Amino acid sequence: MDVENPSAITDAAKVVEGKLDGMGLNLLINNAGIYTPTASLETVDAEDMVRTYKTNAVGPMLMAQAFLPLLKKAAQDSKEKGLSCSKAAIINISTILGSIKKTPDSFFRPVISYRCSKAALNMLTMCQALTYKESGILCVALHPGWVKTDMGSQEADLTVDTSVRGLLSVLPILSEKHSGTLLNWEGKAIPW
Ligand SMILES: NC(=O)c1ccc[n+]([C@@H]2O[C@H](COP(=O)([O-])OP(=O)(O)OC[C@H]3O[C@@H](n4cnc5c(N)ncnc54)[C@H](OP(=O)(O)O)[C@@H]3O)[C@@H](O)[C@H]2O)c1
């Protein structure tokens, strides 16, 4: 599925609905993302800004809209109190590079289009948390660390295994107090 393509997203939601066969969807993880490593203020252009925003911010928004009925169903069918990933949750994979407060610490890598798109994703997460709370859906942004992937390169700090294990151990501890926040792969809060 291409998260830049709205009809591909609605088609995917229909496929998932069919597979669930009347049940709800507990967990939506928006992981797809793109990154232009060379995008400084001198080199970034409109096309890169729009393309990156479409994938990193608009895609997760459309995904949540399309899967919302299934997430709501999971929350309604759950007997659990409060908010949790085992009830119904939207997890947006974001980055510390989208934190406005933390930007001076890493601005040696400007990556303008990526930062701006992920700051938008962080704002989206807060808006989703405030809107979907009454439907029983937890909404959290997670930073996976600097990870050895195609995006992170082999110079990165963490293996995929370490990052993913960390993220998977954070999911079960998330509750309503975390909804609308940005946390790292160890569960530590990152300021917006
Ligand atoms: N690696 C890091 O150090 C790091 C740090 C902070 C945050 N993150 C975040 O972690 C997430 C995963 O990144 P990664 O490191 O695994 O990056 P990656 O190695 O570049 O992989 C990105 C993934 O996103 C998919 N993707 C890109 N555009 C898409 C689209 N329009 N529709 C559907 N899928 C699309 C790619 O699919 P194809 O292979 O088919 O293109 C690929 O599977 C991203 O949101 C990224 O911003 C990564």
Q: What is the CATH number of the domain that holds 50?
A: 3.40.50.720
Of all protein residues, the one whose alpha carbon is nearest to atom 12 of ligand 1 is 31
1 domain-assigned: no
β-strands 189-190, 182-184 pairing: antiparallel
Per-residue pLDDT of the chain in tens (192 residues, 90 and over written 9): 999 999 999 999 999 999 999 999 999 999 999 999 999 999 999 999 999 999 999 999 999 999 999 999 999 999 999 999 999 999 999 999 999 999 999 999 999 999 999 999 999 999 999 999 999 999 999 999 999 999 999 999 999 999 999 999 999 999 999 999 999 999 999 999
93 domain-assigned: yes
| Distance (Å) from CA 77 to ligand 1 centroid | 32
User: Could you tell me the residue range of the domain that residue 146 belongs to?
Assistant: 6-18+26-190
| Distance (Å) from CA 21 to ligand 1 centroid | 29
CA pair distance 61, 129, nearest whole angstrom: 12
pTM of the predicted model over 0.85: yes
List the one residue out of 118, 24, 122, 115 whose CA is nearest residue 76.
24
70 domain-assigned: yes
146 domain-assigned: yes
10 domain-assigned: yes
Q: How many domains does the chain have?
A: 1
Which is it for the CA torsion 27, 103, 120, 76, positive or negative? positive
Of all protein residues, the one whose alpha carbon is nearest to atom 43 of ligand 1 is 32
Q: Within 6 Å (CB) of ligand 1, which residues are found?
A: 1-4, 31-34, 55, 93, 95, 143-144, 146-147, 149-152, 156
Of all protein residues, the one whose alpha carbon is nearest to atom 24 of ligand 1 is 32
CA pair distance 89, 167, nearest whole angstrom: 14
Of all protein residues, the one whose alpha carbon is nearest to atom 11 of ligand 1 is 31
CA pair distance 148, 130, nearest whole angstrom: 33
90 domain-assigned: yes
- Nearest-atom number in ligand 1 for the CA of 114 is 47
